[in-house]
Amino acid sequence: MTFRKIFFVAAAAICCAASATAGQASRTEGGLAFQAQGLNVRVEFYSPDIVRVYKEPVSRPCKKVSIPIIMKPGRVELSFGGGGGVATVASERVAVSVDTETGGIVFADKQGNIMLRDKDYGTQFTPRDDAGRPSFEVRQAFLLDSAEVIYGLGQQQTGLVSQRNQRLLLRNQNMSICIPFVHSAKGYGLYWDNYSPTTFTDNPQEMSFDSEVGDCADYYFIYGGTADGVIAGVRALTGQAPMYPLWTLGFWQSRERYKSPDELCEVVDKYRELKVPLDGIIQDWQYWGCDSNWNSMRFENPRYINKMGDPYYMRFLPKGEKADATGAEPRIKTAKEMIDHVHKRNAHIMISVWASFGPWTDMYHRMDSIGALYDFETWPRHAGVKPYDPFNPVARDLYWAEMKRNMFDLGMDAWWLDSTEPDHFDIKDSDFDVKTYLGSFRSVHNAFPLVTNRGVYEHQRQATSDKRVFLLTRSSFLGQQHYASHSWSGDVTSTWDNMRRQVAAGLNYSLCGIPYWGTDLGGFFASRYNNDINNVAYHELHVRWYEWGVFQPIMRSHNSSPVAVEIYQFGKKGYWAYDAIEKYTRLRYRLLPYLYSTAWEVTSGSGSIIRPLVMDFAGDSRVLELGSEYMFGRSFLVRPVTDSLYTWQDARRNGHQKDMADVASVDVYLPAGADWLDFWTGSKHSGGQTVMREVPIDIMPVYVRAGSIVPFGPDVQYATEKRWDDLEVRVYPGADGRFTLYEDENDNYNYEDGAYTTIEFEWDEAGRTLTIGERKGKFKGMLKSRKFNIVLVGGSTPAGDVPAKGRTVRYDGRAQTVSL
């Protein structure tokens, strides 16, 4: 009997009594249980869309508690059937068939379309010693359709969007975020719930996960029907994403590193002087001083406490640094003054905090006293620094208590949790035998960043509801969105090839259901350009990467010393690099109402900001493996320019500029199923074709889907400088469309109690009317009346980043319709 026929048998047997048996399988409240291959197997529906499969050796039953899964099984209406060694169970959405002899499991939709096969005899348990504890290497194989396209696996640096025909070691490290989750273009997701280093293999014979250690084989099948549905399932399983403060969506400036409070504050002052928008500044490492004092979580570098010359504190000065030759009195003398100065300039500050401690720190000794340090080589090398054990709840309490006392209580706004893989050098197998609170480091390795971020998030939430948590972190795991965690792609080198690879990496990461991701704009290591900020070839790369940054969820410029990448390092107004950077910074701020509303869709509706084209155009086969462009929210098609078009690139020489009047072009594919308007010109194009778009240095190809309604904010110096009482609302005609404008108090958790408003805009293409719906909800200080400047894009109407004149509508919260 074929698998397809099996499901028709299941449908025919749908009226069987719930207590009936099917072959050797027994019915449970949530599904089926049976034995095969010497394994106890349970199939359990968590919801009509989500099925857990759990397998354990009959001789070694165990009780598994998942780290990322927070969903509990719900009561699901199920139908049972089968016969002849095959048992079936079905919800209203998913049908599951099990072969009680081979252990094979087949997942299908209710129409009988097979989604995924758990391979016959595809589960293997190989005994192994795990740090003195009997355990297993665990392998699980699946069968995919030959033409099926799959995504996910976190953030990999392969440059590929499709994860077919790959062999990857999933072990978190700098630049590689490893999540054993695949997302199929067929509309389902598969999460292998194991945190040990795992080899993912896909070849024509099978797809498999081979984990170094585990007591069970445990996975979740998530049926979404669409990519959005799959992501909604991931969020249901692992937690929804909270809102970030509005200011976090502005521009962030960072450098490795600002070496004194004066240096950091001068950057903020310079941006304000130049009237270039800025919301965030970041204090990277070594504010604590030397490597032996690594991550003390205290300002003990003498430059941060006005102790230059004090013999006690001078011992903390980082290696190779000397006291200022002039001995000049600092303007900003302490860390508290630094934080206060940033706030007075209407900006916010983030600080780098690591998952490890140097031997001079109090935290090192406190963690050591409770057995919460890992004994292996981490960054910085040869300094005696050791990672801490975030799986230990007491260690997490100590970690936060020190952060709160020494930084949060001073007014620190956000946290950069660096090296959350953690960094690990000279790797030996015995390093993974290190004991953690939950077992060997081997058994929990990939969950380290999840638990580290969760610890800080939960503690800050307990401390206050008046300040939203914002975490920047270098590593991640499934479910990290639930803890206000934003990942970036690691310390990538500044090359065009690396920039290109980041696009595909971000698309796959987003398809794991984690919405906030970004990159070091311009790349981190500029050694390709001799670390020379005056290298014109580097200018071109940085500008193009920066332009792309406008269309990343978080926009943050960062680079390794000695290169500094503040806008004024790229010349002055009138120089092409400076002008392009300023132009795109202002565009980012104009897009804040659109982006904040999209963030609300992420929080309230399991939405995504980075949307690989398969999410909106799954019916167009040409987009399935396209890794050069994506949707930013539901309106903008973004195609970063990832090739040098105007300068020579030579690592040993300064770049040489070509004639920039000779405008180059790049190809852009416009997906079928929609018409598209060029963001910069308003010209209209049909979908299903490739167009060549001219790209002068200040133009990155951006197209807007016909039917889009996009609110544009005012020109501001920081996100909350002006209220949104006079928004420009652009309608991009060609199809019906709608958009929901979201507003709240910007930086607290009152929205969780309903303190927010929404206004729905709806465009009727046939009637050429825009309906502005009734305002719903309320919050303290909300706008009761305002103006909307309605602009219909196209024809002679201006487009691009320049404000346009349209029809002014006064709005007091009541619905109205505008004819255009």
Residue 82 lies in a domain: yes
Residue 381 lies in a domain: yes
Looking at 449, 469, 489, which one is the last position of a domain? 469
pLDDT digits (tens, 9 = 90+) for 764-777: 999 999 999 999 99
Terminal CA-CA length for the chain: 61
Which residue is associated with the tokens 């049909």?
Answer: 686
Is 76 found in the same domain as 205? yes
Is 297 found in the same domain as 219? no
* Global confidence as pTM: 0.96
Q: What is the mean pLDDT of residues 260-286?
A: 97
Q: Is the pLDDT of residue 239 over 90?
A: yes
Q: Are 210 and 199 in contact (CB under 8 A)?
A: yes
pLDDT digits (tens, 9 = 90+) for 457-495: 999 999 999 999 999 999 999 999 999 999 999 999 999
Quote the pLDDT of residue 662.
86
Number of Cβ within 10 Å of residue 762's Cβ equals 16
| Structure-token pair, residue 306 | 């006005």
Distance (Å, rounded) from C-alpha 731 to C-alpha 769? 10
Residue 308 lies in a domain: yes
Choose among 712, 706, 711: nearest CA to 733. Answer: 706
The total number of structural domains in the chain stands at 3
Quote the pLDDT of residue 325.
58
Q: Please give the share of the chain, as a percent, with pLDDT higher than 70.
A: 96
Looking at 422, 452, 469, which one is the last position of a domain? 469
pLDDT digits (tens, 9 = 90+) for 626-654: 999 999 999 999 999 999 999 976 655 67
| Structure-token pair, residue 350 | 């983030």
**b/e code 100-125 from CB counts within 10 Å (16+ = b):** beebbbbbbbbeeebbbbbbbebbeb
pLDDT digits (tens, 9 = 90+) for 309-332: 999 999 999 988 888 756 678 999
> How does residue 148 score in pLDDT terms, banded at 50, 70 and 90?
very high
Q: Are 782 and 743 in contact (CB under 8 A)?
A: yes
Is 351 found in the same domain as 205? no
When the pLDDT of each residue in the chain is averaged and rounded to a whole number, the result is 94
Is 199 found in the same domain as 329? no
Q: Name every residue whose Cβ is closer than 8 Å to that of residue 797 and which is 6 or more positions away in sequence.
A: 682, 791, 804, 806
Burial of 443 (0-12, 13-18, 19+ CB in 10 A): buried
Quote the pLDDT of residue 24.
84
Q: What is the mean pLDDT of residues 29-47?
A: 97
Choose among 479, 475, 459: nearest CA to 467. Answer: 459
Residue 808 lies in a domain: yes
Is 319 found in the same domain as 203? no
Q: Which residues are catalytic?
A: 418, 421, 491
The least confident of 421-435, 667-681, 792-806 is 792-806
Residue 667 lies in a domain: no
pLDDT digits (tens, 9 = 90+) for 724-740: 999 999 999 999 999 99
Listing DSSP states for 171-220 in one string gives: --BTTBEEEEEEEETTTEEEEE---S-EEEEE-SS-EEEEEEEESSEEEE
- Comparing 19 with 637, which gets the higher pLDDT? 637
Q: Is the pLDDT of residue 155 over 80?
A: yes
How would you classify residue 84: left for phi > 0, otherwise alpha for psi between -120 and 50, otherwise beta? left
Q: What is the mean pLDDT of residues 49-71?
A: 96
Quote the pLDDT of residue 449.
98
Is 319 found in the same domain as 217? no
Choose among 38, 30, 135: nearest CA to 90. Answer: 30
Which residue is associated with the tokens 């990322």?
Answer: 68
Q: What is the mean pLDDT of residues 199-213?
A: 98
Quote the pLDDT of residue 4.
39
- Comparing 473 with 20, which gets the higher pLDDT? 473
pLDDT digits (tens, 9 = 90+) for 395-421: 999 999 999 999 999 999 999 999 999
Q: What is the CATH number of the domain that holds 460?
A: 3.20.20.80
* Amino acid type, 55: K
Residue 395 lies in a domain: yes
- Say which DSSP state 287 is in: T
Tell me the CB-side half-sphere exposure of residue 672, using CA atoms within 13 A: 9
Q: Are 109 and 188 in contact (CB under 8 A)?
A: no
Residue 90 lies in a domain: yes
- Helix, strand, coil content of the chain in percent (nearest 5): 25, 30, 45
At residue 170, what are phi and psi to the nearest 5 degrees?
Answer: -90, 90
Distance (Å, rounded) from C-alpha 79 to C-alpha 20? 11
Number of Cβ within 10 Å of residue 802's Cβ equals 10
What are the Cα distances from residue 171, in Å, to 166, 223, 451? 15, 26, 16
Number of Cβ within 10 Å of residue 795's Cβ equals 9
Distance (Å, rounded) from C-alpha 344 to C-alpha 265? 11
Q: Is the pLDDT of residue 574 over 50?
A: yes
Quote the pLDDT of residue 100.
95
Is 449 found in the same domain as 327? yes
Choose among 701, 756, 751, 702: nearest CA to 730. Answer: 702
Quote the pLDDT of residue 22.
34
| C-alpha of 285 from chain center | 23
Looking at 401, 434, 469, which one is the last position of a domain? 469
Q: Is the dihedral of CA 503, 508, 513, 517 positive or negative?
A: negative
Is 436 found in the same domain as 349? yes
> How does residue 11 score in pLDDT terms, banded at 50, 70 and 90?
very low
| Structure-token pair, residue 536 | 């014109």
| Structure-token pair, residue 147 | 């033409």
pLDDT digits (tens, 9 = 90+) for 591-635: 999 999 999 999 999 999 999 999 999 999 999 999 999 999 999
Q: Name every residue whose Cβ is closer than 8 Å to that of residue 547 and which is 6 or more positions away in sequence.
A: 580, 584, 640, 641, 700
Residue 530 lies in a domain: no
Calculate Rg over the CA atoms of the chain.
27
Is 113 found in the same domain as 38? yes
Is 289 found in the same domain as 418? yes
Quote the pLDDT of residue 439.
97
Q: Are 757 and 798 in contact (CB under 8 A)?
A: no
| C-alpha of 313 from chain center | 39
Q: What is the mean pLDDT of residues 112-126?
A: 97
Is 350 found in the same domain as 450? yes
Q: Name every residue whose Cβ is closer than 8 Å to that of residue 142 and which is 6 or more positions away in sequence.
A: 116, 117, 118, 119, 122, 190, 206, 207, 208
Q: What is the domain range of residue 746?
A: 709-819
Q: Is the pLDDT of residue 306 over 50?
A: yes
Q: What is the CATH number of the domain that holds 205?
A: 2.60.40.1760
Is 217 found in the same domain as 109? yes
- Say which DSSP state 657 is in: B
Q: Is the pLDDT of residue 799 over 90?
A: no
